[in-house]
Amino acid sequence: MTRKFFVGGNWKMNGDKASIDGIVTFLNQSAGVDNVDIIVAPPSPYLAYVKDQLKSSVKVAAQNSYKVAKGAFTGEISPAMLKDLGLEWVILGHSERRHVFGEQDELVAEKTVHALENNVNVIFCIGEKLEEREAGNTKEVNFRQLQSLVDKKVNWDHIVIAYEPVWAIGTGKTASPAQAQEVHGWIREFLKEKVSADVANKIRIIYGGVVNLHTTAGDIEIELWSRECPLASRNFIQLCMEGYYNGTIFHRLVKGFIIQGGDPTGSGHGGESIYGEPFKDEFHQRLRFNRRGLMGMANAGRDDNNSQFFFTIGSEPARDLDKKHTLFGKIVGNTVFNMLKMTECDVDSNDRPRTIHKIIGATIVKNPFDDIKPRKREHKPVEKKLNLLSFGDEAEEDELELNHANKVLHKKGKSAHDVLDDGKLSTQVAVTPDELGDYEPGEDAECTTSTVSSIRAKFAKRKKVDTRYCYAIIEIVVLDFITYIYSTVEEETEGMKMYSALKMKFKSKSKMIVKMRDPKREEQSAAIMERFAKRLRCSDRSAILFDKKINIDENKEDHEEEKKFGIDLDAEDLEGNDWMLNKFVAEDEDSTISKAKDANLREESEDWYDINDPRNKMNKRRRGEE
């Protein structure tokens, strides 16, 4: 049987009027999807506002309701109030209500019964905590929560079971598809045993599925988002079950962008969906093409999805694909490297890979749609879509002529002489059947054998010669390259050697000098001044010669370098230290003689400097320039 799809979104205690307006605008832009219930659950203060603003087929649900119609229960909401607002859904038994607010199984069951009595559909939540799963009590906990509802003998037609483990709520973790599908199976078995097989088959349980795609590059494990994109997920799973993709190739590769497949014709213009016609796009606000390894539906326009799909291979987000292609799955685990292996090849001008990879088969690991049954495939004659070509009219005329020629010449071999309408080409055969009757095959057998052998020997000899020639050319090029490299190195002259040595010496000395900001800089300066003052205080040359120097590290190699180049870097202009003891005394002059110059003698004396500005206008007139 076919169950109606269900997609629900719980906003919890999040959002404000501005953010809600944005979500409502987005929801109103979508026309909705047939055979799918889409539910949103805003916070209680915004229930009426969201209900009034939504224009599409999206339904509004409350996040909680109480077990009685009215009374002194501050902060609670009754199903009758929800019904009065025109709401049809309510979420009950959510893990946060159970574990944060302490709601027990019995209370959740009573609230569910009262909501159903008021004709409000219920999203009944179940799930286990992390310690309960690790202790192996997953089945026991979920069965206990369901048993409280079974005991009330409720109408299961208006209930949707939402399984989500408590340890995945608000932590960023999610249950693996295998874990979710395992619990789904247990739930259906429990309902089949405790209620009926009909209820077990009909009831909707929310979670996802997994497909393992076998290719020539290795297995690719795909996790489908069946809740967010039920149409695309169902289409892909059923086509895999029917073997529709077996033998199909990945016919398109856009480097750094996508790799595309799923077309039985291998041309990029074929493929059909399980619905018999193209199905609608499915966009979700949380799903974006933001990394590699994502799976989307290939289409030629809006709501034109069939069988073709693609994987993203770029490391950067592919924003051009958002809101244009349905994103319905992702590659999980290390199998993404098998997909990337298919992209390691060249492509032609039409983005067709030169190395072709095929889909060998597919394994449905976890199927979220228990009612899928493979169809019997009918082999329909392939219709050529000539309108896909820019020269469609001419192609149609050529097709008619070719069909006519096939009918006339279907009993004999055809050539271009028969098919083409060209007067220069004769339809008569060059050798008649009578002449062929006199031919004996053995006549030319020996000649043919010898000819083939000679041709093979000729090509083998040419191959050897070509190989030797190539190796010789390579050796010559390598030798020329090496010679060129070593010939370009110039020999260092004596002057350059001296310069390099001095440069290295001064560099090494500069490393020993204390930096300006270093506290030891002042100590070093004081030591040098003390050394100089001590030398001045010495009374004779012997004291200077035997004076102890300040402990300053010196490079012992300096003396060897000085001997090597014949330069004394410490040589002084005046030999000896006698000049330090000399005192400069000026000669006595006559005190009656003035040392000032007479300004009246300026014109006559040669000791005066000319301080006139040549650019001054008066000086220019004196010189007769003006």
Report d(CA 336, CA 221) in Å as an integer. Answer: 8
Structure tokens at 370: 């228990």
Distance of CA 112 to the CA centre of its chain: 45
Average pLDDT taken over every residue of the chain: 78
331-374 pLDDT, tens digit per residue, is: 987 888 889 999 999 999 889 999 999 999 888 877 777 777 77
Residue 554 belongs to a domain: no
Residues 6+ apart with CB under 8 A from 382: 265
Q: For residue 367, list its beta bridge partners.
A: none
Structure tokens at 206: 């929310």
Q: Is residue 464 exposed (0-12), middle (13-18) or buried (19+ Cβ within 10 Å)?
A: exposed
How many C-beta atoms surround the C-beta of residue 200 within 10 A? Answer: 19
Same domain, 238 and 92: no
> What does the pLDDT average to over 507-518?
65
- In this structure, which amino acid lies at residue 567? I
Q: Is residue 471 exposed (0-12), middle (13-18) or buried (19+ Cβ within 10 Å)?
A: exposed
Report d(CA 259, CA 579) in Å as an integer. Answer: 91
Per-residue pLDDT at 160: 93
> What does the pLDDT average to over 78-82?
94
Same domain, 224 and 201: no
Same domain, 188 and 214: no
Structure tokens at 181: 């599908």
Does the pLDDT value for residue 301 go beyond 90?
A: no
Residue 608 belongs to a domain: no
Same domain, 252 and 141: no
**CATH code: domain of residue 132:** 3.20.20.70
Residue 237 belongs to a domain: yes
Same domain, 40 and 120: yes
Give buried/exposed letters for 491-512 (b at 16+ CB in 10 A, else e). Answer: eeeeeeeeeeeeeebeeeeeee
Residue 463 belongs to a domain: no
Residue 529 belongs to a domain: no
> What does the pLDDT average to over 199-210?
77
Q: For residue 361, list its beta bridge partners.
A: 214
> Which among 72-81, 418-427, 468-477 has the top mean pLDDT?
72-81
Of residues 303, 309, 308, 327, the one with CA closest to residue 317: 327
Residue 544 belongs to a domain: no
On the CB side of 168, CA atoms within 13 Å amount to 14
Cα dihedral: 453, 459, 461, 467 (round 10): -150
Same domain, 219 and 169: no
Contact by Cβ (8 Å): 329, 262: no
Does the pLDDT value for residue 255 go beyond 70?
A: yes
Same domain, 300 and 360: yes
Does the pLDDT value for residue 526 go beyond 90?
A: no
Of residues 252, 431, 262, the one with CA closest to residue 345: 252
Domain stops at, among 341, 366, 391? 366
Q: For residue 59, list its beta bridge partners.
A: 39
Same domain, 328 and 294: yes
Per-residue pLDDT at 178: 62
Does the pLDDT value for residue 386 go beyond 90?
A: no
DSSP 364: E
Same domain, 201 and 216: no
> What does the pLDDT average to over 586-611?
66
- What is the residue-wise DSSP string for 371-416? T--PPPPP-PPPPP-GGGSTTHHHHHHHHHHHHHHHHHTTTS---H
Does the pLDDT value for residue 307 go beyond 90?
A: yes
Does the pLDDT value for residue 553 go beyond 70?
A: no
What is the rounded end-to-end Cα distance, in angstroms, of the chain?
119
- What is the residue-wise DSSP string for 479-516? HHHHHHHHHTPPPPPHHHHHHHHHHHHHHHHHHHSPPT
- Flag the least confident range among 8-12, 407-411, 549-553, 580-584: 549-553
How many C-beta atoms surround the C-beta of residue 583 within 10 A? Answer: 4
3-state DSSP call for residue 205? strand
* Number of residues in the chain: 626
Report d(CA 68, CA 110) in Å as an integer. Answer: 9
How many C-beta atoms surround the C-beta of residue 448 within 10 A? Answer: 11
Same domain, 87 and 137: yes
Residue 584 belongs to a domain: no
- In this structure, which amino acid lies at residue 44? S
Q: Which residue has the higher pLDDT, 328 or 533?
A: 328
Of the pLDDT bands very low, low, confident and very high (cuts 50, 70, 90), residue 616 is: confident
Domain boundaries, position 257 = 209-366
Q: What percent of the chain has pLDDT above 90?
A: 26
Of residues 239, 253, 183, 249, the one with CA closest to residue 211: 239
Give the residue ranges of DSSP H helices in 31-137: 47-53, 79-84, 95-99, 105-117, 130-134
Does the pLDDT value for residue 465 go beyond 90?
A: no
Does the pLDDT value for residue 453 go beyond 80?
A: no
Report d(CA 109, CA 107) in Å as an integer. Answer: 5
- What is the residue-wise DSSP string for 219-230? EEEEEE-TTT-H
Q: What percent of the chain has pLDDT above 70?
A: 66
Q: H/E element holding 442?
A: none
Per-residue pLDDT at 391: 45
Q: How many domains does the chain have?
A: 2
**CATH code: domain of residue 234:** 2.40.100.10
Report d(CA 272, CA 452) in Å as an integer. Answer: 51
Does the pLDDT value for residue 536 go beyond 90?
A: no
Domain stops at, among 183, 206, 229? 206
Residue 163 belongs to a domain: yes
Could you list the active site residues? 94, 164
Report d(CA 258, CA 263) in Å as an integer. Answer: 15
Domain stops at, among 366, 388, 408? 366
Phi, psi at 312, each rounded to 5°: -80, 140
Question: Roughly what angle, to the nearest 10 degrees, separates helices 177-194 and 138-150?
Answer: 40
Same domain, 202 and 214: no
Does the pLDDT value for residue 5 go beyond 50?
A: yes
Same domain, 278 and 183: no
Residues 6+ apart with CB under 8 A from 94: 10, 63, 64, 125
